[in-house]
Amino acid sequence: MKHNLHFLLLIFFLGCAGKDPGPEPRSRDEIMREMANLPALYLTKDGSNREAAGGQACFVDEASGELFWMALECKNPKCPAKVESGKSHIFIMPDPGVFVNEKGKLDFDSEMEEQALRKGGFLGCQKCIPLRQKQMLWSGRGAETQAEKNQYAKYVAPHVLPETKKREGELEKEMVARVAWEKENAP
């Protein structure tokens, strides 16, 4: 009888103690910091490539002094490059006003940028330009409408490396778990 009473008290105390919340997961800030620094692909104008922490439009490689731009890709389902190879076209759109100065640092020339803007031309995927020109000639307008320009601009997106995409998914799950942990352990 005495053993039964002890057994019942043990079960009672274990039930009242609740479950062990376990170790505290990483903070939201730590998770977000890792998300912001996931690797991204960067290219130079001559096609050299390098992986570096994402979140920056461009950077100067200290060793070579080359200017690397974040890789973009064309999401246009009718892009000639995609139709031909089945893969999205990966490219860069360098800002004409950005350059590397004598000290090897990024610099900006507003006159160069203004000159490039006045010159005009097509922005976006270079492989889609013949398609766009053909569409302009067919329409008889001789120029793209603002809606057409906006549509082609929407097709341009940052290129995401496969391993970065995978890690982003893992970090998103970790963030969901962190938020759930905070709700369970709120005072």
Strand order in the sheet with 156-158: 90-91, 72-74, 156-158
Retrieve residue 78's tokens: 């009718």
Distances (CA, A) of 89 to 75, 81, 85, 94: 8, 6, 9, 16
Residues of the chain with pLDDT under 70: 1-22, 122
Query: Both tokens of residue 57?
Result: 């439009």
Inside any domain, residue 19: no
Cα–Cα–Cα angle for 112, 113, 114, rounded to 5 degrees: 95
Indicate whether 23 belongs to any domain: no
99 assigned to some structural domain: yes
Instruction: Specify the pLDDT at position 23.
Output: 77
The boundaries of the domain holding residue 151 are: 36-184
Residue 159 CB contacts under 8 Å (≥ 6 apart), including other chains: 40, 41, 70, 71, 72, 73, 88, 90
At 46 the pLDDT is: 93
Paired tokens of 4: 């039964």
pLDDT digit string (tens) for 6-43?
444 445 444 445 555 567 889 999 999 999 999 999 99
Q: Tell me if 31 is assigned to some domain.
A: no
Residue 108 lies inside a defined structural domain of this protein: yes
Beta bridge partners of 59: 68
Domain contains 82: yes
Instruction: Give the pLDDT score at 187.
Output: 81
The pLDDT of residue 154: 94
Q: Give the Cα separation of 90 and 100 in Å (integer).
A: 23
Q: Is position 118 within any domain?
A: yes
In SS3 terms, 144-182 reads as CCHHHHHHHHHCEEECCCHHHHHHHHHHHHHHHHHHHHH
pTM to 2 decimal places: 0.77
Whether residue 5 lies inside any domain: the answer is: no
